[in-house]
Structure 1
Amino acid sequence: MHIHGESQAQAGGQLFDHGYALLIGVGTTADPRWSLPVTVNDVQAIHKILTDAALCAYPHNRDHIRLLCNAAATRPGILDGLAWLKRQAAADPDATVVVYYSGHGWLDAHALQYALIPHEFDATDIPGSALLANDFAAALREIEARRLVVFVDSCHAEGMAAAKGEPGLPADFVQAVLPKGVIDCLKQGEGRAVFTSSRGRQSSYIRPDQSMSIYTYHLLAALQGAGSSPGDTVVRVSNLMNHLGKTVPASARQCWQVEQVPFFDAATEDFPVALLRGGKGLPAEDRDDAAQATAESPPTPQKTGERIRIHQEAGDNAVQIGLVHGDANIRKT
């Protein structure tokens, strides 16, 4: 049985064979001042979870999942990867596409342009070496998949500063997460969801053991069922939102005594992004501590035609997810 759209009850031994993913971990950069080796740990861990037949069950081949790290994570390499996703989605009307970027993200405060920093970034030739967010968004809009999820885990500098000191940024650049205007471009159309690891001028922190980012750590848990309920056989967008919205701020406060609040935005019906435990689902007796911690989460949309509504309180970091019927899109304050 294939998994696509709104899934039905699953038997074991299946694959999420309409799933396609491009995972980008910039890691080393040509100028070592801006290298972030931990980003490679992030995407390798996600790759392992997605391709595990007993977990997310994406087919483990280059037709379904590709990994760009270190010297491969160049601007041309990233754009080529997005073009590959465009071709895969065009050939598969039921495609679910995941794009994950882990690396630096900087805002040119003078030109008001946001840039992702690829491997070959050269501070003396920023227009010729950075991946401008407008170009990134344009390439994503070319992917005509029914369902597209974009994760941007950027602005890691504070976590790195705790370990080895923070490098100076080029003139006019400041650390920042994706601006709202860029997010609006990324989520144009139906079946689109955008996740960022923090918001505003917040930084995205790395775990104290330097193993991976806090955000990725909790995303991995959600992909294994930490935000799901007994009986769930797929991991949905709303499961990720629920779990990340609760655990990332708590971990940032516990580990670094800082605020890091993930951001979500979408215009979509709730949809599956992976199988849960190979489609076998989450039995009540197997719920782990992380899943138990989300037991008080707001209800997850379950029916075709229901849409997610997000409300993020600016003051207290609360994240509430409810149901909207009809044509209403996600709303946020």
Structure 2
Amino acid sequence: MTKVHGIFIGIDRFQSPSINWLSCAKRDAVALHSLFSDNIDGDFQLIHDENATRDNIESKIKLLSNCSEKDIVIFSFSGHGTTNHKLVTYDTKINDIESSTISLDTLAEWFNNIPAKQLICIIDCCFSGGMGAKALEVNNSRQLRSGEELIKQFSGSGRIILTASKASEPAWENGKLGHGLLTYHLLEALQGAEEVRKDNKIGIYRLLEYVTSSVKNSAGQLGAVQNPMLLGQIIEEINFPIFKPGKLYNDAFPERSISLANSDIDSLLELGFPLGILNSWKLKIPSLNQIQIDAINEYGILKNNHLVVSAPTSSGKTMIGELAAIYGVTQRKRAVFLLPLKALVNDKLKHFNETYASFDIKTIKATGESTTDDIMPLMKGQYDVCLMTYENSQQLS
């Protein structure tokens, strides 16, 4: 009997302070893991952030050496690649890239020991640097083989590899979509995009062709170039059911189901806010007022909509800002507050640290004061909330 095995890896944050944070890699892995687990009875492993060490990834892959030839294996990685064609793990060390990353050669060797005759490898990262790209630039010796050559070693009979872009191109995250472009369109296809469905099933070739063309088109709409690579061949057609979000997916992404806020702060739990943060808010405000409820239900501040709030003093405008910011942080996005005075920045920093630090929300400030500001976390994206003065935001823009 055929069994489906899956390893879904997503890494946004890293042990090394020298590695830029990402926003969507963990969400990529959680979404794929949830959809597969909700729809297929298989063996699915989710590995993200601090659990995604090199050793742990290696051990999970090597366990697949016990699977059957009849089985199907799906491997998905979302995170940073390096400009010398390696996958960056949580514990990658900048001064020891060779032994603390996973080279494509090594990954291919691990896959060669998996007896399953059908293996699909999805890599949503890139090996080309650039601001905002999912790549870690490193200074290292020249590669003897090109990125395309390294990637091709995964392909062959029964082996398919889908990469987010060509080895010489960047791959992009889209904060509005909440995913890397490749994973977003893969999720779209699995849930039954019209071009993919046939007889209430999803064929693997139709799926991969759809994802490849959709990523290219989406990148073009952003003014970018991103051409996924699809290599290899499957021995026989693989058909999946049309995936439907179930308990795991809805628990992970409650904002994607229809739910409304009301005056009870606990109503925000259904929208994806952590219970601990709601309890913290309840110590300071008894309930949500109408302007805050309208901002959520009518104007979509939790759905990436823009909103300008004009209301009297003490009407709850600041809480609307915190609702939008903290919700974004729970989605692995970042928030910036602009304030007119340094004193207000310092006051707000104290408030955010007292309220949110215990929930692993990192707040920094950037006011231009060289004696108190550390600009590096801002430049590397290693923060959740940044508090800035108007003046300093203009200087940095």
The answer to whether the superposition gives a TM-score over 0.5 is yes
Trace 1:184-333 onto structure 2 (pairs within 5 A).
184-188=152-156, 190-209=157-176, 211-226=178-193, 227-233=195-201, 235-254=202-221, 256-272=222-238, 274-277=240-243
Q: Which amino acid aligns with 2:208?
A: M
**Match of residue 327 from structure 1:** none
Task: Identify which of 35, 48, 53 aligns with 1:49.
Answer: 35
SS of equivalent residue, structure 1 residue 222: helix
Question: 2:330 maps to which residue?
Answer: none
1:102 maps onto 2:78 in alignment: yes
| CA-to-aligned-CA distance 1:299-324 (integer Å, 9 cap, x gap) | xxxxxxxxxxxxxxxxxxxxxxxxxx
- C-alpha displacement of 1:229: 3.2
Partner of 1:76: 55
Query: Structure 2 vs 1, CA of residues 159 and 214 (structure 1 numbering), >3 Å: closer, same or farther?
Result: farther
Segments of structure 1 that go 5 or more residues without pairing to the other structure are 5-17, 109-113, 279-333
Contact 2:7 2:46 in 1 (8 A): yes
Structure 2 Cα separation of the partners of residues 239 and 159 of structure 1: 31
Which SS does the other structure have where 2:169 is aligned?
A: coil
CA pair 155-93 structure 1, distance change in 2 beyond 3 A: closer
- Determine if contact 2:83/2:127 at 8 Å carries over to the other structure: no
Whole-angstrom CA distance in 1 between matches of 2:243 and 2:86: 36
Counterpart secondary structure, 2:83: strand
Distance in 2 (alpha carbons) for counterparts of 1:129 and 1:73: 12
**For residue 115 of structure 2, what is the amino acid of its counterpart?**
E
Q: 2:16 aligns with which of 18, 23, 31?
A: 31
For residue 85 of structure 1, the aligned residue among 55, 64, 67 is: 64
Shift of 1:82: 0.7
Q: Which of the numbers 116, 120, 145 marks the counterpart of 2:91?
A: 120
User: What is the distance in 1 between the residues matched to 2:135 and 2:76?
Assistant: 24
Cα 1:70–1:157, aligned 2, differ >3 Å: closer, same or farther? farther
Instruction: Give the aligned partner of residue 351 of structure 2.
Output: none
CA displacement at 1:160 relative to structure 2: 6.6
The 1-side partners of 2:152 and 2:57 are apart by: 21
> Which residue, out of 124, 130, 136, partners 2:107?
136
**Alignment RMSD, CA only?**
2.6
**Mapped contact 2:82–2:136 kept (Cα < 8 A):** no
User: Unmatched 5+ residue regions in structure 2?
Assistant: 245-397
**How has the CA–CA distance of structure 1 residues 120 and 144 changed in structure 2, closer, same or farther, with 3 Å as cutoff?**
same
Is 2:197–2:203's contact at 8 Å kept on the other side of the alignment?
no
Equivalent residue letter for 2:54: R
Output the CA distance in 2 between the equivalents of 1:85 and 1:131. Answer: 17
Q: Residues of 1 paired with 2:98 and 2:108: CA distance?
A: 16
2-structure distance, mates of 1:269, 1:141: 16
User: What amino acid maps onto 2:216 in structure 1?
Assistant: P
For residue 149 of structure 2, the aligned residue among 173, 181, 185 is: 181
Query: For residues 241-280 of structure 1, what are the alpha-carbon distances to aligned partners after superposition, in whole Å with 9 as ceiling and x for unaligned?
Result: 22112211111111x21111111001333421632247xx
Q: For the structure 1 residues 41 and 273, does the alpha-carbon distance in structure 2 shift closer, same or farther, using more than 3 Å as the test?
A: farther
Paired amino acid for 2:122: F
Give 1:298's aligned residue. Answer: none
Q: Which residue in 2 is equivalent to 1:294?
A: none
**What is the deviation of 1:200?**
3.2
Contact 2:164 2:182 in 1 (8 A): yes
Q: Specify whether residues 94 and 206 from structure 1 end up closer, same or farther in structure 2 by C-alpha distance, changes over 3 A only.
A: same
Question: In the alignment, is residue 65 of structure 1 matched against residue 31 of structure 2?
Answer: no
2:233 aligned partner, one-letter code: A
Is the 8 Å Cα contact of residues 23 and 47 (structure 1) preserved in structure 2?
Answer: yes
Letter in 2 for 1:184: K
1:304: which partner in 2? none
Higher relative contact order (CA 8 A, sep 6+): 1
* Same amino acid, percent of matched pairs: 23
